[in-house]
Structure 1
Amino acid sequence: MKRFLLLFSVLLAGLSASAQKPFTTGNQRWADSVFARLSLDEKIGQLLMPRANTSNAPYDRDKLTAWVRDYKIGGLVWFANQPTRQTAMINELQGLSAIPMMMGEDLEWGLTMRLDSTIRYPYALTLGAIRGNDDWFYRMGKQIGEQCRRAGIHINYAPVADVNNNPNNPVIGFRSFGENQTEVLRRATAYMKGMQDAGLITTAKHFPGHGDTDVDSHADLPVISHSRARLDSVELFPFRKLIQSGLNGVMVAHLSVPALDPTPKQATTLSKPIVTGLLRKELGFEGLIFTDAMDMQGVAKHFPPGVAGVKALLAGNDVLETFADVPSMFQAIKSAVLSGEIPMQDLDEKVLRVLRAKAWLGLDHYQPAPLNNLLADLNKPTAEALARKLAEGSLTVLRNEGGVLPLKNLATAKVAAISVGAPAQGPVNPTAEQAMLLNYLPVDTFRVDVKTSAEQLAAVKAKLAGYDVVVVALHSPFMRSANAWPEANLKLANAFVGMPNAAYLFFGNPYVLDKLPGIEKSKALVVTYQETTVMQELAAQLVGGGIGANGQLPVTVNTQFKFGDGLTVQQMGRFRYGLPEAVGVDSRLLNARLDSIVNQGLDAKAYPGASVLVAKDGMVIFKKAYGKHTYESNQAVRESDLYDLASVTKVSTSVLALMRMQDEGKFRLDMTLGELLPEWKKSNKASLKLIDILTHQAGLKAWIPFWQTCLDSTRASGWKRKTFSTEQSRKYPIAVADHLFLHRRYKKKLLKQIEDSPVNPKQGYVYSDLSYYLYPQIVARLAGENWEDYLKNTFYKPMGATTLTYNPRTAYSLDRIVPTEYDSLFRKELIHGRVHDEGATMMGGISGHAGLFGNANDLGKLYQMYLNGGEYGGQRFIREQTIKQWTSYPFPVEVNSRRGIGFDKPDRKKPGLSGPPSAGPLSFGHSGFTGTFVWVEPQDRMMYIFLSNRVYPTRNNGKIGQLNIRTQFGEMIYQTIRQSTQIAGF
Structure 2
Amino acid sequence: METFGGLSLRQKVAQMLIYRMNMRFLSSSSKKWKEIQSLLETDGIGGVHIWYGDVGTSLTLLNKMQKYSDIPILVDADIEHGLYQRFPEGTELPPFMALAATDDPDLAYAAGKIVATEGRSVGIHWNFAPVVDVNNNPRNPIINTRSFGEDPDQVSIYGKAYIRGLQDHGMLATAKHFPGHGDTEKDSHSSMAQIPSDALRLWSVEINPFINAISSDVDAVMVSHVHAPDYQFNADLPATLSKFWVSNILKDSLGFKGVVVTDAMSMGGITNNYSDSYGLIAAVNAGCDFIIQNGDFKGSIDVIEQAVLDSIIPEERIDESVLKILRMKEKIGLNGNRFIEMKDAQGSLKDSSFQITANRMAAKALTLVKNETKFFPLELKKREKLYIIDIYDHKNDHSESITTKALRELGANVHSFQLDESDKKYVSSSILKEIPKESTVIVNAFVSPSSYKNRITLSKNQEKFIQSLAKKSEKILLNSYGTPYLIENFPMVDNYICSWKGNRIMQNAFVRALTGRENISGKLPITIPGVAERNFGIPIRKKPIWFTQEPAHESGKKLKWVMPAEAGADVTALDLLLDEAIADSAWPGNVLLAAKDGQVFYHEANGYHTYSHQRRMSPSDIFDLASISKAVST
TM tier relative to shorter chain = 0.7 to 0.9
1:538 matches 2:509: yes
Distance 2:22 2:409 in 1: 44
549, 555, 560: which one pairs with 2:520?
549
Distance 2:174 2:492 in 1: 41
1:489 matches 2:459: no
Amino acid of the structure 2 residue aligned with 1:34: T
1:432 matched residue in structure 2: 402
Amino acid of the structure 2 residue aligned with 1:49: I
SS in 2 for 1:192: helix
795, 800, 823: which one pairs with 2:547?
800
1:449 matched residue in structure 2: 419
SS in 2 for 1:78: strand
Q: Which has the larger radius of gyration?
A: 1
Distance 1:297 1:318 in 2: 21
1:420 matches 2:389: yes
1:812 matched residue in structure 2: 552
1:179 matches 2:150: yes
Identify if the C-alpha distance between structure 1 residues 555 and 365 changes in structure 2 by more than 3 Å, giving closer, same or farther. same
Shift in Å, 1:157:
0.8
Distance 1:413 1:204 in 2: 52
SS in 2 for 1:88: helix
Amino acid of the structure 2 residue aligned with 1:449: L
Shift in Å, 1:323:
2.2
SS in 1 for 2:469: coil
Equivalent runs, 1:90-169 vs 2, <5 Å: 90-131=62-103, 133-169=104-140
Distance 2:316 2:71 in 1: 21
2:629 matched residue in structure 1: none
SS in 1 for 2:335: helix
2:32 matched residue in structure 1: 60
Q: Which 5+ residue runs of structure 1 have no aligned equivalent?
A: 1-31, 575-797, 804-810, 821-950, 955-986
2:488 matched residue in structure 1: 514
315, 325, 334: which one pairs with 2:296?
325
Identify if the C-alpha distance between structure 1 residues 329 and 247 changes in structure 2 by more than 3 Å, giving closer, same or farther. same
For residues 339-358 of structure 1, the C-alpha deviation after alignment (integer angstroms, 9 at most, x for no partner) is: 44433333222211111111
Shift in Å, 1:158:
0.7
Identify if the C-alpha distance between structure 1 residues 226 and 192 changes in structure 2 by more than 3 Å, giving closer, same or farther. same
Distance 2:482 2:372 in 1: 22
Shift in Å, 1:232:
0.5
238, 242, 251: which one pairs with 2:222?
251
Distance 1:295 1:458 in 2: 43
316, 320, 336: which one pairs with 2:307?
336
2:272 matched residue in structure 1: 301
Amino acid of the structure 2 residue aligned with 1:258: P
Shift in Å, 1:162:
0.6
1:79 matches 2:51: yes
SS in 1 for 2:142: coil
TM-score (norm 1): 0.52
1:292 matched residue in structure 2: 263
Shift in Å, 1:179:
1.5
* Greater Cα shift, 270-279 or 384-393: 384-393
Could you tell me whether the CA contact under 8 Å between 2:442 and 2:477 is conserved in 1? Answer: yes
Shift in Å, 1:239:
0.3
For residues 777-804 of structure 1, the C-alpha deviation after alignment (integer angstroms, 9 at most, x for no partner) is: xxxxxxxxxxxxxxxxxxxxx773665x
437, 441, 445: which one pairs with 1:475?
445
Shift in Å, 1:169:
1.6
2:201 matched residue in structure 1: 230
1:216 matched residue in structure 2: 187
Shift in Å, 1:165:
1.5
SS in 2 for 1:365: coil
SS in 1 for 2:222: strand
Amino acid of the structure 2 residue aligned with 1:494: Q
Could you tell me whether the CA contact under 8 Å between 2:112 and 2:165 is conserved in 1? Answer: yes
Could you tell me whether the CA contact under 8 Å between 1:129 and 1:553 is conserved in 2? Answer: yes
1:505 matches 2:479: yes
Could you tell me whether the CA contact under 8 Å between 1:84 and 1:374 is conserved in 2? Answer: no
Q: Which 5+ residue runs of structure 2 have no aligned equivalent?
A: 560-595, 600-634
Shift in Å, 1:297:
2.4
Could you tell me whether the CA contact under 8 Å between 2:94 and 2:505 is conserved in 1? Answer: no
Distance 1:55 1:458 in 2: 44
For residues 718-738 of structure 1, the C-alpha deviation after alignment (integer angstroms, 9 at most, x for no partner) is: xxxxxxxxxxxxxxxxxxxxx
Could you tell me whether the CA contact under 8 Å between 2:378 and 2:546 is conserved in 1? Answer: no
Shift in Å, 1:403:
4.2
1:765 matched residue in structure 2: none
Distance 1:284 1:174 in 2: 29
Distance 1:231 1:336 in 2: 34
Q: Percent identity?
A: 27
Shift in Å, 1:427:
5.8
Amino acid of the structure 2 residue aligned with 1:36: G
Could you tell me whether the CA contact under 8 Å between 2:142 and 2:449 is conserved in 1? Answer: no
Could you tell me whether the CA contact under 8 Å between 1:547 and 1:571 is conserved in 2? Answer: yes
Identify if the C-alpha distance between structure 1 residues 87 and 267 changes in structure 2 by more than 3 Å, giving closer, same or farther. farther
Distance 2:384 2:152 in 1: 42
Shift in Å, 1:458:
4.4
Identify if the C-alpha distance between structure 1 residues 818 and 539 changes in structure 2 by more than 3 Å, giving closer, same or farther. farther
Distance 1:54 1:325 in 2: 18
* Greater Cα shift, 360-369 or 112-121: 112-121
1:36 matches 2:5: yes
Amino acid of the structure 1 residue aligned with 2:249: L
Amino acid of the structure 2 residue aligned with 1:472: I
Identify if the C-alpha distance between structure 1 residues 59 and 177 changes in structure 2 by more than 3 Å, giving closer, same or farther. farther
Distance 2:384 2:43 in 1: 66
* Greater Cα shift, 219-228 or 497-506: 497-506
Identify if the C-alpha distance between structure 1 residues 331 and 316 changes in structure 2 by more than 3 Å, giving closer, same or farther. same
Distance 2:399 2:281 in 1: 52
SS in 1 for 2:304: helix
Report the RMSD for the aligned CA atoms in angstroms: 3.0
Distance 2:128 2:291 in 1: 13
Amino acid of the structure 1 residue aligned with 2:319: D
Shift in Å, 1:441:
5.9
Distance 2:548 2:265 in 1: 59
Shift in Å, 1:190:
0.9
Distance 1:194 1:54 in 2: 25
More contact order relative to length (CA 8 Å, sep ≥ 6): 2
2:14 matched residue in structure 1: 45
Distance 1:416 1:34 in 2: 70
Shift in Å, 1:515:
2.2
Shift in Å, 1:98:
0.5
Could you tell me whether the CA contact under 8 Å between 1:260 and 1:274 is conserved in 2? Answer: no
Distance 1:378 1:54 in 2: 17
For residues 46-79 of structure 1, the C-alpha deviation after alignment (integer angstroms, 9 at most, x for no partner) is: 2111323599999921222222222222112121
Distance 1:154 1:566 in 2: 37
Amino acid of the structure 2 residue aligned with 1:125: M
Could you tell me whether the CA contact under 8 Å between 1:551 and 1:568 is conserved in 2? Answer: yes
TM-score (norm 2): 0.79
Distance 2:345 2:31 in 1: 20
Shift in Å, 1:234:
0.5
For residues 930-968 of structure 1, the C-alpha deviation after alignment (integer angstroms, 9 at most, x for no partner) is: xxxxxxxxxxxxxxxxxxxxx9789xxxxxxxxxxxxxx
* Greater Cα shift, 275-284 or 72-81: 72-81
Identify if the C-alpha distance between structure 1 residues 802 and 186 changes in structure 2 by more than 3 Å, giving closer, same or farther. same
Distance 1:543 1:366 in 2: 48
Identify if the C-alpha distance between structure 1 residues 286 and 252 changes in structure 2 by more than 3 Å, giving closer, same or farther. same
Shift in Å, 1:252:
0.6
Could you tell me whether the CA contact under 8 Å between 1:103 and 1:153 is conserved in 2? Answer: yes
SS in 2 for 1:310: helix
